[in-house]
Amino acid sequence: MKTNRRTFIRNSAAGAAALGLTSVFPTLHAGILGANEKLVCGVIGVNGMGFADLRAFLQQPGTECAALCDVDDNVLQERIANVREIQGKAPTGYHDFRKLLEHPGLDVIIIGTPDHWHTLPFVYAAQEGYDIFCEKPLANSIEECNLMEAAVKRYGNVVQVGQWQRSDPHWQDAIAYVHSGKLGKVRSVRAWSYQGWMKSVPVVPDSPVPAGVDYDFWLGPAPDRPFNRNRFHFNFRWFWDYAGGMMTDWGVHIIDYALFGMEQTAPRSVMSMGGKFAYPDDACETPDTQQAIYEFDGFTLLWDHGIGIDGGYYGRSHGVGFVGNDGTLVVDRNGWEVIPEPKEGNPTLERVDLVQGEGKGLENHMANFIAAIRDGASLNCPVEIAAGVARTCHLGNIAFKTGRRLYWDAGQISFVNDPEADRYLAPSYRAPWSLPVV
């Protein structure tokens, strides 16, 4: 029955596209999956957030995991055992995501791979009619974001991206306050992440590929390099081949809410500076210290990050501060508060003491995704939101790499009269892999 459902979605999407109805096609999903029918997933990349996402999926009623895929067999076997313990039945294991996509009876694909491996399985899964939960950032380049957004528009899949703060009530309440206008004119937004627990990565020599790891497949479209454990698993995010450092890691979460609060999707211009100032001789490539300033109509957005220290703004290691004429709203994962502007000792705004969060953002996010599949509920982080946020973060990194102010044309998805900066928009895939065609 699941294969028929996916065939129906794919064929209906093609027909809708031919009639120019792609913008309304997602409504075709509503009611396709019966309320009592089990929702079955396969997961690609199960070491870190992929497994966290799977656990959140299996906490929802009427769900099952039938297949897992990872290029590290050590991780794969551990996760198969974990899932057997959770649901009482072991999933089938795969090392090639293309084989997992052929597994019978799947409805949902969860993608938890490193960033450079998001696009290919995403587009292939979309073409097969699967609904998709993809980890953030959406992709490792702006052109990949474009392709993934185009794939969903063409094939009509239900897609949620793992910016789970979008489903956390206290974040939503904070933004509702910003939108109320009580802060007065918001002239600037500060977004930051100072992560003391993320330490320097010492240089280590290249080494043989660990037993059970298909390293060539792990590299995939990225450049061919000798195996080095610093570039593998969690630390991949500090190397440009695979990710964008803190800017596209924490930045995607925090800048997302800055854009949400200001009801914006793309800046007019951006400039960025920073470097490896704290740990100049360690193994990482991406900056441990970085600031980016984005220009919008009527306000600026500052992104600021630091690795190895916790000294952020307003006594918080991370968060967003909306600076208005009458007061500042500060929100992080613990809660939100409003700090009135003194106004010469006579504030015009009432203070809001800390409103604490519940810490169930990922669970809520997965529940929202499943409700969208089963009942046609509105997604909290659909692909178009995730693509806009990821592009904004990549713009900050491109400005850092070029070392100058860049002007952005959101309509053309390119820089203004800047072919040198445009070279950073699309990745160069290593053969035999190539950017998918949508």
CB 257 within 8 A of CB 248: no
User: For domain 2-166+365-388, which architecture applies?
Assistant: 3-Layer(aba) Sandwich (3.40)
> Domains of the chain: which residue ranges?
2-166+365-388, 175-358+395-414
Helices (H), 281-323: none
Backbone angles phi, psi at 362, to 5 degrees: -65, -40
The CA distance from 82 to 252, in Å, is 29
Spatial CA neighbour of 261 closest among 183, 334, 359, 360: 183
Encode 333-387 in three state secondary structure. CCEEEEEECCCCCCCCCCCEEEEECCCCHHHHHHHHHHHHHHHCCCCCCCHHHHH
Strand duo 159-161 + 131-134: pairing: parallel
CB 433 within 8 A of CB 425: no
The parts of the chain modelled with pLDDT lower than 70 are 1-36
Q: Which helix (H) or strand (E) holds 189?
A: strand 186-195
CB 279 within 8 A of CB 200: yes
First to last CA, the chain: 26
CB 244 within 8 A of CB 140: yes
Q: Which helix (H) or strand (E) holds 139?
A: none
- pLDDT tens-digit series, residues 318-372: 999 999 999 999 999 999 999 999 877 777 899 999 999 999 999 999 999 999 9
Answer whether 2-166+365-388 and 175-358+395-414 agree in fold.
no
The CA distance from 414 to 148, in Å, is 17
Q: Tally DSSP H helices, then E strands, for the chain.
A: 12, 16
Q: Which helix (H) or strand (E) holds 161?
A: strand 159-161
**pLDDT attached to residue 24:** 39
Q: Which residues fall within 8 angstroms of residue 145, CB to CB, at 6 or more apart? A: 138, 139, 386, 387, 390, 391, 394
The burial of 253, by beta-carbon neighbours within 10 Å (0-12 exposed, 13-18 middle, 19 or more buried), is given as: buried
Strand duo 186-195 + 318-324: pairing: antiparallel
Q: Could you tell me the pTM of the whole model? A: 0.92
Question: In whole angstroms, what separates CA 46 from the centre of its chain?
Answer: 16
Question: In whole angstroms, what separates CA 224 from the centre of its chain?
Answer: 25
CATH of 175-358+395-414, one of 4.10.910.10, 2.60.40.1250, 3.40.1010.10, 3.30.360.10: 3.30.360.10
CB 364 within 8 A of CB 382: no
**pLDDT attached to residue 37:** 86
**pLDDT attached to residue 238:** 97
Query: Whose structure tokens read 């190397």?
Result: 239
